[in-house]
């Protein structure tokens, strides 16, 4: 009896020990190593958001930010097989997936256990979840870190590619509507003829073409947009045909009119030869000085210059994004792809940032803890903490609207401030709420401060307000057509070109070396230079086009669940 009692007692003791232990294991403090595939600042030790994360989830992070070359760094980590717990491969995350360094998140993510995560990916699950034929199972290694917005797509301004023009040029001509290449260059020519220099006596530059390294897209990408397609990188896809004909556009007859136009502008002095030897820093310097009247670029690529102009209050020198397309008589009918019609579409439907963000490595011991954290970060309260910060400190709520003072809003982009007040690295590479808040007291507000109309328009300067009023627009996004529906394959530039890398490198090198020569061709030699260029680039274009067509067909099939 005594024996039995003591056994029972022992069991009770054991039980009482076990129960709290089991709970504790769930929240046992852990430190996770985190590789972030881009440069970044180590957060300050007193960072308030990381402190909240530690309190809530019992997780601390040891970050490694990228300092050298991404591919080289990933290559070494894979060779060494020493993986961080959380592994964000940046723009080369495919390498991690190919190497089998990441776990399949579908083992943990499902409608029952992780309702928030599931709801987050559900609308785009055909793109996000793929089928691995070798394993014969559905796989999802990375939850896209951007582009899964809720509600209507927000287009306050053009953030991507466009032909840009200084606001003063449009104002000078009494706010015309510019839709074609001819109108665009004609306006710049007339403006420069009337105003050869700025008020300080510095000559204006008519049109800049940036070519430095990967920023060559400023020279190469315009043709697809002139043909009426949003950004597919270097190929033109006919989305209206069932078999999605795909071809590189740079070697096509319909590309020629654009470069012919540039050649003419070169001889008129609108384009200077210096543009082809310009470094990115020099380009930004020119733009920041307010002497460049127009260029093709993507808005984020010259954000620094815009900042500089705003700081100097040179509002008239900031830029408007125009959606130019070919006029019907720009391209001879026989040069057009079969059955092609041109309609302006610079802005595409919202695009999930596939295979970008953090994955969980196969050597991580706590995948459940990370999934649980991500799940919770998508809850409304944590989404607000990650996106807006702490109420009262970083923002306030007035009449159901989220508001920030100008200082608070400026903080959100201040890197020094972020080190103490934002969990930026986690925010950047984890799944997050974007777009509009659809439910609850705050419905109708934006998940991100940068999109909240009060922040965007409340701080708009008077010049811009006046400028827009001449067009009867409420925002700069109104200069282009509303977003087109995203093609089933997404955007073709996302396709990983590794398998044809050497041909792709040839493709780039030939453009780099020969296209500037084409644009600067002496009068009468343009056609010969153009033909030589097309001949040189054709072989790599063929490999590239075929490869992209196959990949696009695969993506389309996957999208429709075939």
Write the CA distances from 477 to 156, 223, 295, 301, 541, integer angstroms.
Answer: 5, 21, 18, 17, 34
Query: How many angstroms separate the most distant Cα atoms in the chain?
Result: 112
Residue nearer to another protein on the CB measure, 240 or 474: 474
The DSSP string of 130-192 is EEETTTTEEE-----SS--EESSPP-SS--SEEEEEEHHHHHHTTS----BHHHHHHHHHHHH
Among 14, 23, 76, 557, binds another protein (CB under 8 A): 76
Question: What ranges make up the beta strands (E) of 303-420?
Answer: 319-322, 358-360, 396-398, 401-403
Among 448, 464, 480, 526, binds another protein (CB under 8 A): 448
Q: CB of residue 140 vs another protein: minimum separation in angstroms?
A: 18
Based on the shown chain and the rule CB under 8 A, indicate whether residue 146 belongs to the binding site for another protein. yes
- What is the Cα–Cα distance from 460 to 475, expressed in whole angstroms? 10
Match 């960072």 to its residue by tokens. 47
Residue nearer to another protein on the CB measure, 53 or 155: 155
Q: CB of residue 237 vs another protein: minimum separation in angstroms?
A: 19
Among 428, 442, 464, 552, binds another protein (CB under 8 A): 428
**Rg (alpha carbons) of the chain, rounded to whole number:** 27
Based on the shown chain and the rule CB under 8 A, indicate whether residue 151 belongs to the binding site for another protein. no
Q: CB of residue 182 vs another protein: minimum separation in angstroms?
A: 27
DSSP 3-state of 397: strand
Match 């125009």 to its residue by tokens. 322
Based on the shown chain and the rule CB under 8 A, indicate whether residue 412 belongs to the binding site for another protein. yes
Q: What angle do CA 377, 382, 384 make, to 5 degrees?
A: 125
Number of residues that bind another protein (CB under 8 A): 96
Residues 179-238, interacting with another protein (CB under 8 A): 211-212, 214, 216
Q: CB of residue 33 vs another protein: minimum separation in angstroms?
A: 6
Q: What angle do CA 200, 201, 207 make, to 5 degrees?
A: 105
Residue nearer to another protein on the CB measure, 5 or 67: 67
Q: CB of residue 428 vs another protein: minimum separation in angstroms?
A: 7
Among 274, 328, 393, 466, binds another protein (CB under 8 A): 274
Based on the shown chain and the rule CB under 8 A, indicate whether residue 152 belongs to the binding site for another protein. no
CA 529 to chain centre: 35
Among 130, 306, 363, 481, binds another protein (CB under 8 A): 306
Residues 157-176, interacting with another protein (CB under 8 A): 157, 159-160
Residues 322-351, interacting with another protein (CB under 8 A): 351
Among 7, 9, 13, 277, binds another protein (CB under 8 A): 277
Q: CB of residue 438 vs another protein: minimum separation in angstroms?
A: 17
């Amino acid at each position: 009896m005594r024996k039995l009692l003591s056994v029972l007692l022992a069991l009770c003791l054991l039980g009482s020990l076990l129960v709290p232990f089991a709970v504790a294991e769930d929240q046992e403090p852990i430190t996770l190593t985190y590789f972030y595939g881009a440069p970044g600042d180590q957060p300050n030790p007193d960072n308030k958001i990381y402190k909240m994360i530690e309190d809530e989830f019992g997780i601390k992070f040891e970050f490694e930010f990228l300092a050298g070359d991404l591919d080289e760094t990933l290559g070494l980590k894979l060779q060494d097989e020493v993986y961080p717990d959380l592994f964000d491969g940046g723009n080369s995350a495919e390498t991690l997936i190919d190497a089998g360094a990441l776990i399949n998140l579908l083992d943990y993510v499902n409608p029952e256990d992780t309702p928030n995560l599931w709801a987050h990916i559900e609308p785009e699950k055909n793109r996000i979840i793929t089928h691995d034929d070798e394993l014969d199972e559905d796989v999802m290694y990375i939850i896209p870190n951007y582009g899964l917005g809720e509600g209507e797509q927000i287009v306050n301004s053009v953030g991507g590619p466009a032909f840009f023009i200084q606001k003063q040029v449009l104002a000078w001509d009494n706010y015309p509507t510019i839709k074609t290449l001819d109108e665009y260059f004609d306006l710049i020519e007339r403006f420069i003829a009337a105003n050869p220099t700025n008020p300080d006596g510095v000559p204006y530059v008519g049109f800049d073409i940036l070519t430095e390294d990967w920023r060559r897209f400023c020279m190469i990408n315009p043709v697809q947009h002139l043909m009426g397609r949003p950004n597919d990188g270097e190929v033109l896809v006919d989305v209206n045909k069932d078999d999605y004909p795909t071809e590189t556009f740079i070697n096509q007859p319909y590309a020629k009119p654009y470069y012919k136009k540039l050649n003419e502008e070169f001889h008129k002095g609108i384009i200077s030869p210096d543009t082809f030897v310009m470094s990115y820093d020099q380009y930004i310097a020119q733009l920041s000085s307010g002497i460049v009247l127009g260029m093709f670029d993507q808005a984020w690529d010259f954000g620094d210059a815009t900042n500089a102009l705003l700081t100097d209050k040179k509002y008239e020198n900031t830029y408007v994004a125009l959606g130019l397309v070919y006029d019907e008589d720009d391209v001879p009918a026989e040069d057009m792809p079969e059955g092609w019609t041109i309609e302006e579409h610079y802005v595409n439907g919202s695009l999930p940032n596939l295979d970008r963000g953090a994955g969980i490595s196969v050597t991580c011991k706590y995948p459940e803890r990370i999934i649980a954290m991500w799940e919770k970060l998508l809850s409304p309260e944590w989404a607000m903490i990650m996106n807006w910060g702490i109420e009262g400190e970083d923002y306030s709520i007035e009449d159901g609207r989220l508001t920030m003072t100008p200082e608070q809003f400026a903080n959100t982009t201040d890197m020094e401030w972020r080190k103490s007040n934002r969990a930026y690295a986690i925010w950047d590479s984890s799944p997050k709420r974007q777009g509009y808040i659809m439910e609850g007291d705050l419905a109708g507000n934006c998940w991100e401060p940068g999109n909240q109309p009060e922040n965007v328009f409340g701080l708009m300067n008077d010049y811009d307000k006046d400028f827009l009023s001449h067009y009867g627009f409420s925002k700069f996004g109104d200069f282009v057509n509303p977003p087109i529906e995203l093609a089933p394959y997404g955007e073709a530039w996302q396709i990983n070109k590794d398998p044809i890398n050497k041909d792709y490198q040839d493709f780039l090198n030939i453009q780099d070396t020969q296209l500037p020569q084409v644009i600067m061709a002496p009068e009468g030699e343009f056609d010969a230079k153009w033909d030589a260029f097309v001949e040189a680039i054709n072989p790599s274009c063929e490999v590239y086009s075929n490869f992209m067509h196959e990949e696009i067909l695969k993506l389309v099939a996957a999208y429709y669940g075939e």
